[in-house]
Amino acid sequence: MKRLLVAGNWKMYTDPAGAGNLASRLKGSLGSCGWADIAIFPPFTSLAAAVDAVRGSGIAVGGQNLYWENEGAYTGEISPSMLIKAGCTMALVGHSERRTHFNETDSMLNKKIKAALGAGLHPILCVGETLEQRESGITEQVIEKQLMADLDGIDEIEPIAIAYEPVWAIGTGKNATPEQASDIHKFTRQLIGRKWGEKAAAGIRILYGGSVKPDNAGALAEKADIDGFLVGGASLKADSFEAIARSFK
């Protein structure tokens, strides 16, 4: 049986001292979590502090981004091997903020996924629609296009987790209802089943990300096709992240 996954994306917050303190607190409360895998994604400058703080626990640390080459004249980028040497085992790929603010295309994300897998990292691939796309009734078409393009040429997808994050519900205070989230998770699993087979569909973890907070996590966690959360702002406070993780207990 697959384990649930609760991941915290710290975005461009925390300095090394703050990251170390937060990670230490999480190690104490969730370091031996029996009901879910726990992962945190600090900024690059805080990776070392977070890795040191959770050492010896079950908490994974990942990079918020990566480039598809291992080295070269790519100023400002970070490679899969650099993440691994920093102590990371995971990486985020295709977060809506990367797609929107930094114009990352599906072709670029496909290269990043392949590079992460080739290096032994476990990627979380983010997909989701804008408010305009949802109101136009094309949410499913958007998700299918992103998934098929981002995972093109990848035969084994079990090491990958998918995070459905409706763009209109990220940092806006708006929330997809549990039913809306569950419908897209179910649709996503069906897509995976048709392309990669029912075993892959049953085994892959599909997370929900979109203004997840302690007060809505419980209702979302009850849905069968939601295998965990990708948490943004609420992951920056130990109490709220712990409460979200415990919603699956």
Average pLDDT of the residues of the chain:
95
- Contact at 8 Å (CB) between 181 and 212? no
Looking at the chain, the whole-number percentage of residues with pLDDT higher than 90 is 93
Decide if 101 is catalytic: no
pLDDT tens digits for 34-62? 999 999 999 999 999 999 999 999 999 99
* The pLDDT of residue 217: 96
Reduce the DSSP state of residue 174 to 3 states and report it: coil
Which residue do the tokens 């087979």 mark? 197
* The pLDDT of residue 183: 96
Let me know if 129 is exposed, middle or buried by CB neighbors in 10 A (0-12, 13-18, 19+).
buried
Of 104, 129, 165, 242, the active-site residue reads 165
- Contact at 8 Å (CB) between 90 and 124? yes
* The pLDDT of residue 97: 94
* The pLDDT of residue 2: 82
Q: Where residue 125 sits, what CATH number does that domain have? A: 3.20.20.70
pLDDT tens digits for 119-158? 999 999 999 999 899 989 999 999 999 999 999 999 999 9
Query: Which pair of tokens denotes residue 33?
Result: 């979590």
Domain count, the chain: 1
Decide if 95 is catalytic: yes
Reduce the DSSP state of residue 225 to 3 states and report it: coil
- Expressed as residue numbers, the domain containing 95 is 4-246
pLDDT tens digits for 86-127? 999 999 999 999 999 999 999 999 999 999 999 999 999 999
Of 95, 97, 122, 185, the active-site residue reads 95
* The pLDDT of residue 1: 61
DSSP H stretches of helix in the chain? 16-30, 47-54, 80-85, 96-101, 106-119, 131-135, 139-150, 178-196, 198-203, 214-221, 238-246
* The pLDDT of residue 173: 67
- Which of 211, 156, 161, 198 lies closest to 36, judged by CA? 161
Claim: this prediction has a pTM higher than 0.75 = yes
